[in-house]
Amino acid sequence: MTERPLGVVNCHCSQCRRFHGHFGAYITVPRDTVFFDADSTLAWYRSSEAAQRGFCSRCGASLFWKGDENPLVDIAAGSLDQPTGLVTLRHIHVGSKPDYYEIDDSLERFPEGAPEPP
């Protein structure tokens, strides 16, 4: 990755919860800044008519979300090497949040998606 992301966004949509087993935590960067040393175990699953999710076909780790027409890609924050130096910025799709947990921080919240960073 050649670009420094702004921070982590927690997504509470039902697709992220199914893909990750809980909410998804992502960084967002331009697609053309992401490079792979090798991608032979990278697999993509069409999760909707407009997006795909990437995962490791060897271990099953959740890695990416990309919208078909979007020049950005979301990378699962949990897949990054530590220390990241990142902070969590906001919660999105909180209107889809399930009833088994509460969001108890002071970060900004959006009922659906948030505006893309400038």
Residue 4: the pLDDT is 63
Q: What is the pTM of this model?
A: 0.88
pLDDT score recorded for residue 35: 87
Question: Is residue 8 within 8 Å of residue 86, measured between CB atoms?
Answer: yes
The list of the chain residues with pLDDT below 70 reads 1-4, 115-118
What pLDDT does residue 6 have? Answer: 78
Q: Which residues pair with 73 in a beta bridge?
A: 29
Integer angstrom CA distances of residue 57 from 15, 61, 88, 90, 105? 19, 8, 28, 30, 34
pLDDT computed for residue 117 by the predictor? 54
Q: What angle do CA 63, 67, 73 make, to 5 degrees?
A: 45
Which 3 state secondary structure label does DSSP give 26? strand
